[in-house]
Structure 1
Amino acid sequence: MKQFFLTVLGVFTGLVLFLVVVPVVLLTFAIAAGSSKPATPAATVLELDLREGISDQPSTDPFAVFAGGGLSTLQVVDALIQAQDDRSVKGLLIRLPEAGITPAAADELRQAIVRFKASGKPVIAHSQGFMPAGTAISSYMIGAAASELWMQNTAGFQATGLATDNLFLGRAFEKYGVRADFEQRYEYKNAVNEYTQSDYTPAHREAQTAWMTALYDSALAHVARDRKSTPEAVKALVEAGPYSAEQARANGLVDKIGQVEEAEAAIKTRAGRGAEIVELAKYASDKGARAGSGRNAIAIVGGEGAIVTGRGGSASPFGGGAMIHSDDTAEAIYDAIQDKDVKAIVFRVSSPGGSPEASEQILAAVRAARAAGKPVVVSMGDYAASGGYWISSQADWIVAQPSTITGSIGVFGGKFVVAEALGRFGVDMRGLSVGGQYADAFSPTQPFTPEQRADFSASMDRIYDDFITRVSTGRKLPADRVREIARGRVWTGAQALPLGLIDQLGGLTEAVVKAKELARLPADQPVRFKHFPKVRSPWEALSEAFGVQTEAARALVTIGGVMADPQAQAVMRRIQGERMRSEGAVVLADQPL
């Protein structure tokens, strides 16, 4: 009887999928593919709305739109480069977020805005307030780069510094009988501290205060440059707040007070008669990524998110968190190597790290590119720390924003022992194992035995030494020097430059220029851009999500017991969320922002 109802349910669900969901999805793509791209109005004002957040890179998942995915930093930069030379684009309106933005993204957006403004086109930024915590100073930095910065009359200017909070679970775990049995290499590898401590350790406090100060000072320096002041004057003025909107204007922190509708009217007036506002996201979609021109090409290889082994993109065909799958990313690099037109590779990395095995697989592809005579330039995004630095370390050249979070050359790992905690609720956990003494090393029923800890500690040391060796070789630094600046410590891009961990401050634009130089292509010679990995088709996305071949994806949604089929049931388990591989040890940095 149970199987009968499961079969009936499967048939019903299959009908829904076949008759409703899939046709809607495919019709959407058919309409999008069949519609001609509308011409940009003769007098266009682009509107960049940053209030809903922004990723580092555009998704390669064709279903990402259904997950509410918005713009990426690279899409904005690319669109503004095209808009600089587009005669129909007359200006730019920016809607600033109240709660802040990732500092490295703010750096790259600011650079794009400054270049757009230098083309002679006006930029108005409008704010409905700057919150008193988080990275609101980065939002203000973007606004300060505009031709005019407006603020709503009821808003408050409360960006008086940079703040972050860390949650420590050490006392709670102790109280409820959970043991966080972890090791770290070394004292600055702070990602594990939230499980083992109740407060900042001296090393944690030292490192975090240092990078926060660096981010704050960098933002103030950019504001001072754009507002034609000095960092000292801006610092004193900002820290004397908070201010009302009128006080902020009186002190020269903003230029005008008004509603967003008034700001829209002002930028349209400056754009000329008949000006229309067009969302930058729509403009970017209509234009597409820059293709460039010329016989030679530069490959742009993207990687954003935690680094894991395997392949896959999103586990769900309707979106999911960004991840760097080692098979996919390595394959993208090898595809660029085999493309005869590609003369150099720009590898965009935005990752806090992850699996050392996955990181090494990707780094091997980077080495292969160099061995094939194709220079590799890494462009670091919001984060390129721990495993993110591992995969970057042996590139020919590394470019990072002043506010990029990088370094964190270290490793941590361990397990949670929860048997005692569960026992307090009447749940008894017991374990059995056969084989060697390490077979149950990661069992949550008991701490590491002395023998297991010795073996695990040795593996941690090996991974750390491997990491040191990769950096020493790639950066041409003595291993002892790398050990001095490693120990798991996080650095900003500005701090990493004098340490020799990166080569240049800048964004994707600067990375492309350097790639052309290393490939011995004349600076004034146009090049094409080839993006890897390529955007998957809807059927390819479905096939990956459901674990079948592309040709079989069409048949998967046919009627008849879909939900009762064991493979389909496994699919439903998979699409509940991304599957992270448990490696025992990870090269992963803490992400305080």
Structure 2
Amino acid sequence: MKQFLMTVAGVFVGLVLFLVGVPFLLIVMAASAARPAPVPAHTVLQLDLRGGLSDQEPQNPFAALGGGGGQSVMSIIETLRRAETDDKVEAVLVRLPEGGMAPASADELRLAFKHFRAVGKKPIFAHSQGLYPSGLVTSTYMLGAAASEFWMQPDSSLQAVGAASEEMFFKRFFDKYGVKADYEQRYEYKNAVNPYLYSDYTPAHRESTLSWMGSVYTTALTTAAQDRKVDPAALIKTIEAGPYSAEEAKAKGLIDRVGQVKDAQDAMLSRAGKGAKLLDFDDYAARAKKAPAKTGPTIAVVSAEGAIMTGSGEGGSPFGGDSTIYSDQVAKALYDAIDDKDVKAIVFRVSSPGGSDTASEQILAAVKAAKKANKPIVVSMGTYAASGGYWISSGASAIVAEPTTLTGSIGVFGGKFALGDALARFGVDVKQVHVGGDYSGAFGTGQGFTPEQRARFAGWMDRIYAGFVHRVAEGRNLPEARVREIAKGRVWTGVQAKQLGLVDELGGFYEAVDKAKSLANLKGEVKLKKVGGSNSPFEALEKMLGVSETSVRTLAASAWLLGDPRSQSILDEMAKARLRSTPSGASVLADTPVR
């Protein structure tokens, strides 16, 4: 017994050291670089997009340390707005990914590039080490076409000849091994579970996929042609006749220059002036100081990215990188913005493929409350705002989507996998007992729905679908019959959705800000204030360890007293953060006022 207790005590001490020591060490290491050097007088920013992008910044402060961080579209466009009026920033060099990127992300960045060039009168060079048929690579080409100069590495290949999508169907596999996918869909275009139900595309599945892909493809190349000042039909014909080497692409007018990235860097530095230096984009973002909080009309910014779930996100690891929209968190942020007397309007940034209907309804109620409080709320759609993502958007004062945002998907599906026959082949028998009504055992995995269970389950699906249609009709001021025509679970691009009346305008985040200003009758400069969002590192540790934030701060203070200068820098940053904070927990989104 004594040895057992000693072992348990040892394990406990080890866990405490790991859970407390490791996170604290990571905080100290991150904070050791909290006092960056000034931005050089002549700076060329280098923005590397090859590592992938999220739409918004992670909701927890340790996501990057846990491998789930990286750059976000929102942080990039905010930083470009600062850089375009910064006299020290002369230009930007962008490293393009070799494959495709989310079309709406490319749309948003393109608008930011165009604004940087127009307002700042500064060049952007884009450099590619090749564009290969992976994902929607035409969107990557479109982004390169928006630059002042489009470079490619010698002997690399431009293979943006079209777009393809491949689906893996499991029906025959399931039949062979006794797995039954028992699902209900509302309706034929709600095809998320089609790979489990069929062995090939259904006509509706094929039609819907080709429709949104064709819209994305045509939009990307038409936009690229516009930016390169060539005829869209001619550009599409040339692109589709590829692939080309970099040298051939230049000869055909698809790009501007051929050279190594070092050549592009040297060209930009030479243009920037004597003594110009390259600076990593993220480093510049960290060095850019926030402007003091200003009084006056304020537009709140509430962000939501990921699958929609009920709850508050409590108890999860602060090192997780997956984005999730927790209904309690987002609804609270919206209500906080409503209650803030300085907030005159709200921009609600949504990037979600959907999720729980009850969680979506909780968030939609907060959206409607904003309108009832006479605070216009404008949705800015990111990569997608489909299914539950459209549910939470439908009641807004206005919706602004990128041309290639994937939205709509007004429908519902649900069901289960019945594994009884499959497991029986391995000597595993699944038996069920239940009390109460027969439906209590409906979601057991041993067998499929009974006819009675299916009828009751189908009725549930019908009620959710009817409620979804009603909310869209009410929010968009459309007849329910019309919504049913364009719903059926079908996905639309932003361009298509605008034609159908599902969105109001095409554009990005700052176009949504302009719309919010207009609806709130705000003139001149306004302040953007982020409401809700990520916690401080100390709050995140408090949630994970179950100890108070004060205890974590005390731990940092103790190390400072023992002479650790890195911990002193943590306390310095804590003091700065407190000075920047507001009573509502909001923070200034960007130091440049939006006009």
Both structures adopt the same fold (TM-score exceeding 0.5) = yes
Q: CA deviation at 1:317?
A: 1.7
Cα distance in 2 for residues equivalent to 1:188 and 1:434: 37
Q: Secondary structure at the match of 1:439?
A: helix
1:293-332 mapped onto 2 (5 Å cutoff)? 293-312=294-313, 315-332=316-333
Q: CA deviation at 1:93?
A: 0.2
Q: Deviations over 1:148-194 (max 9, x none)?
A: 11111121111101112112111111111110000000000010101
1:243-262 mapped onto 2 (5 Å cutoff)? 243-262=244-263
Tell me what 2:502 maps to: 501
Q: Structure 1 314/509 Cα, relative in aligned 2: closer, same or farther at 3 Å? A: farther
Q: CA deviation at 1:29?
A: 5.0
1:80-479 mapped onto 2 (5 Å cutoff)? 80-118=80-118, 119-287=120-288, 293-312=294-313, 315-479=316-480
Q: Secondary structure at the match of 1:81?
A: helix
Q: Structure 1 459/155 Cα, relative in aligned 2: closer, same or farther at 3 Å? A: same
Q: CA deviation at 1:445?
A: 0.8
Higher relative contact order (CA 8 A, sep 6+): 1
- Pick from 8, 11, 21: which aligns with 2:10? 8
Q: Deviations over 1:181-210 (max 9, x none)?
A: 000000000101011111100000001101
Cα distance in 2 for residues equivalent to 1:201 and 1:364: 36
CA contact (8 A) 1:185 1:410 kept: yes
Q: Deviations over 1:238-258 (max 9, x none)?
A: 000001111111111111111
Q: Structure 1 530/167 Cα, relative in aligned 2: closer, same or farther at 3 Å? A: same
CA contact (8 A) 1:133 1:159 kept: no
CA contact (8 A) 2:303 2:533 kept: no
Q: Secondary structure at the match of 1:299?
A: strand
Q: CA deviation at 1:61?
A: 1.1
Tell me what 1:583 maps to: none
Cα distance in 2 for residues equivalent to 1:549 and 1:464: 44
Q: Deviations over 1:448-481 (max 9, x none)?
A: 1111111111110000000000000000000000
Cα distance in 1 for residues equivalent to 2:293 and 2:266: 34
Tell me what 2:571 maps to: none
1:76 maps onto 2:52 in alignment: no
Letter aligned with residue 57 of structure 2 = P
CA contact (8 A) 1:306 1:353 kept: yes
Q: Structure 1 185/299 Cα, relative in aligned 2: closer, same or farther at 3 Å? A: same
Tell me what 1:566 maps to: none
Cα distance in 1 for residues equivalent to 2:291 and 2:233: 40
Cα distance in 2 for residues equivalent to 1:60 and 1:285: 18
CA contact (8 A) 2:103 2:383 kept: yes
Cα distance in 2 for residues equivalent to 1:227 and 1:207: 30
CA contact (8 A) 1:95 1:127 kept: yes
Cα distance in 2 for residues equivalent to 1:174 and 1:132: 33
Letter aligned with residue 100 of structure 1 = G
CA contact (8 A) 1:313 1:325 kept: no
Query: Unaligned 5+ residue runs, structure 1?
Result: 558-593
Q: Deviations over 1:504-550 (max 9, x none)?
A: 0000000001101111111xx21111102143122211233345654
Letter aligned with residue 103 of structure 1 = P
Letter aligned with residue 70 of structure 2 = G
Q: Deviations over 1:116-175 (max 9, x none)?
A: 112321111110000123111111111111111111112111110111211211111111
Letter aligned with residue 139 of structure 1 = T
CA contact (8 A) 2:58 2:321 kept: no
Q: Structure 1 180/437 Cα, relative in aligned 2: closer, same or farther at 3 Å? A: same
Tell me what 1:586 maps to: none
Q: CA deviation at 1:446?
A: 1.2
CA contact (8 A) 1:211 1:492 kept: yes
CA contact (8 A) 1:170 1:195 kept: yes
1:507-518 mapped onto 2 (5 Å cutoff)? 507-518=508-519
**How many aligned residue pairs are there?**
552
Aligned CA RMSD, in angstroms, stands at 1.9
Letter aligned with residue 124 of structure 2 = V
Q: Structure 1 410/17 Cα, relative in aligned 2: closer, same or farther at 3 Å? A: closer
Cα distance in 2 for residues equivalent to 1:332 and 1:289: 22
CA contact (8 A) 1:378 1:395 kept: yes
Tell me what 1:46 maps to: 45
CA contact (8 A) 1:51 1:95 kept: yes
Using the aligned pairs only, state the percent identity.
55
Letter aligned with residue 13 of structure 1 = L
Q: CA deviation at 1:328?
A: 0.3
Q: CA deviation at 1:344?
A: 0.3
Q: Secondary structure at the match of 1:301?
A: strand
Cα distance in 1 for residues equivalent to 2:541 and 2:131: 42
CA contact (8 A) 1:376 1:397 kept: yes
Letter aligned with residue 435 of structure 1 = G
Q: Structure 1 550/438 Cα, relative in aligned 2: closer, same or farther at 3 Å? A: farther
Q: Secondary structure at the match of 2:329?
A: helix
